[in-house]
Structure 1
Amino acid sequence: MTVARWARIQTEMRILAVDTSTLAEGVALIEPDRILCDLQVDVRSSHAPHLLGLIHQALALASAPLASIDAFAASQGPGSFTGLRIGIATLLGLAQALNRRVLGIDTLEALALKVPFAAQPVCALLDARKGEVFGAIFRPTTNGLLRLTPNLVMTPEAFCANITEPTILLGTGVEVYRHVWQTQLGERAILAPPWLGMPCSVQVGALALAQAAAGQHGPTGTLSPTYVRPSEAEINWSRHRPDDLSPI
């Protein structure tokens, strides 16, 4: 897609957005003034067997041919390493075939956007396994979300030090460590119900539309996940690689 074409459509574009950052998979078809389709499924396994089928189903329900998509948007992380790779690779393949762009959206920011008009700060939390959470805190404003912390990965006990006032907590990291939030934070913890959590494909699409409106179209044909911490493959490589070789 040329920059000139991007400039023409960025205020009225149609985006296909995907969130595969957790075991809940979401596909949304969104335009600036409406949501054409929003599908969610709890895969409880790999996203690979389901994602393309869910994309085709969303397009069919919205009576929207694939060629009508102006850009794609993917949750870029943090989240499930495998899930992020599958989502991004799938959209890159579709985008290459159509000569479209893929916009990468921060997963925690998209999650926090589920409560855009909250009076309190919003803490987006994902279960990072290994006794840790991915988390970031935002403050909703009339101009969007104001980020209060970078994306962090740490134990829930350590993360509590970042929450100094009554804060809405939402995401997969809430239920897993509910006892920690309730015990250590007390009245500072406003725990959102589980159904308000993942996936957040509509919010991924909304943030992508905002990027497009600001002229932030990103590179064509490339997008990498944001892991926040090293993957298992990277950890194993660093442990077992020969001393005379450098990591790739």
Structure 2
Amino acid sequence: MITLGVDTSTEFLTVSVISGNKVLSDYNAIGRLSHSALLVPTIQKALRKARKKLKDVDLFAVGMGPGSFTGLRIGVTAMRAFSIALNKPIIGVPTLDAIAYNALELYSGHRSLHNGGLTPIPILDAKKSQVYACIYRIDGDRLVRNSDYLLEPVERLMKRLEGDVLFLGDGIAIYKDKLMAEKTIKAKFIEDNRWFPKASVIAKLGLEMFKSGKRDDPYDLEPLYLYARDCNVMGRPRPS
């Protein structure tokens, strides 16, 4: 099964094509050009490297945020359009889940992570002195979510935490000093090349969700944007 994974929720544009769980191509871009200018050419490059065409894609998996509303809209709108045009399924994958998987990948087999001794928490800058975050635990080779997807000041987030915590995400660049100063936790920080989601993980998680029976409606699929009252993405009109 060919899955195209895309995430545009952060400054890091990521696109991947997988066959089953095998990565055929993986492209990442960060730079001066906007995601709107880069997305389609990057998808084309990823498909060429995988020796596939868009019509060969069986499943579209897209990062749903939370994150930049403008960025989210670009990726979700494009993937929704592909799904509708080709009559292929689409799955929305929470971006925080994909970022948290960077910890699982890096610490695979590491006892402190797998026995509950180290809690992975992605934090993304949400502006307005707040972060997007979620609290996870590792159960074997699975990532288990232990909280809702959060939008709150980092001070409130810290009140939820104790013990050894592994932080991931671009919120580290802003809040690292505050996190290190918090006495109720022992903060650890993953390197900055693992702060962002990978489209290959988006694709694999989307495929797992699809196999478990999840289906999203491309006409109604909306980003996970926690500033809900400020922004809204209108679904595409259904054909009459």
Report the TM-score range of the alignment, normalised by the length of the smaller protein: 0.7 to 0.9
1:135 to 2:133 alignment: yes
Sequence identity percentage: 29
Among residues 73, 79, 89, which one is paired with 1:101 in the alignment? 89
Residue equivalent to 2:75: 87
User: Which ranges of structure 2 fall in alignment gaps of 5 or more residues?
Assistant: 233-240
- CA distance change for structure 1 residues 18 and 150 in 2, over 3 Å: closer, same or farther? same
Structure 1 residue 45: deviation in Å? 5.3
Aligned residues: 222
Distance in 1 (CA, whole Å) between partners of 2:182 and 2:102 is: 25
Among residues 222, 225, 229, which one is paired with 2:223 in the alignment? 225
Task: State the secondary structure of the residue aligned to 1:35.
Answer: strand
Q: TM-score, normalised by structure 2?
A: 0.87
Stretches of 4+ aligned residues off by more than 6 angstroms: none
The residue correspondences of 1:148-159 to structure 2 (distance < 5 A) are: 148-159=146-157
The residue correspondences of 1:1-248 to structure 2 (distance < 5 A) are: 13-44=1-32, 46-116=34-104, 117=108, 118-119=113-114, 120-142=118-140, 144-185=142-183, 188-230=186-228, 232=230
Q: Structure 1, residues 125-169: CA drift from partner, whole Å, max 9, x if none?
A: 111011111000111112511111111111112211122120110
Structure 1 residue 187: deviation in Å? 5.7
- CA distance change for structure 1 residues 94 and 207 in 2, over 3 Å: closer, same or farther? same
Structure 1 residue 231: deviation in Å? 5.8
User: Which ranges of structure 1 fall in alignment gaps of 5 or more residues?
Assistant: 1-12, 235-248
Q: Quick one: which amino acid aligns to residue 76 of structure 1?
A: M
Larger radius of gyration: 1
Distance in 2 (CA, whole Å) between partners of 1:154 and 1:202 is: 29
Structure 1 residue 205: deviation in Å? 0.9
Q: Quick one: which amino acid aligns to residue 27 of structure 2?
A: L
- CA distance change for structure 1 residues 162 and 31 in 2, over 3 Å: closer, same or farther? farther
Distance in 1 (CA, whole Å) between partners of 2:2 and 2:42 is: 17
- CA distance change for structure 1 residues 139 and 197 in 2, over 3 Å: closer, same or farther? same
Task: State the secondary structure of the residue aligned to 2:167.
Answer: strand
Structure 1 residue 24: deviation in Å? 0.7
Q: TM-score, normalised by structure 1?
A: 0.84
Distance in 1 (CA, whole Å) between partners of 2:183 and 2:199 is: 30
Distance in 1 (CA, whole Å) between partners of 2:156 and 2:33 is: 30
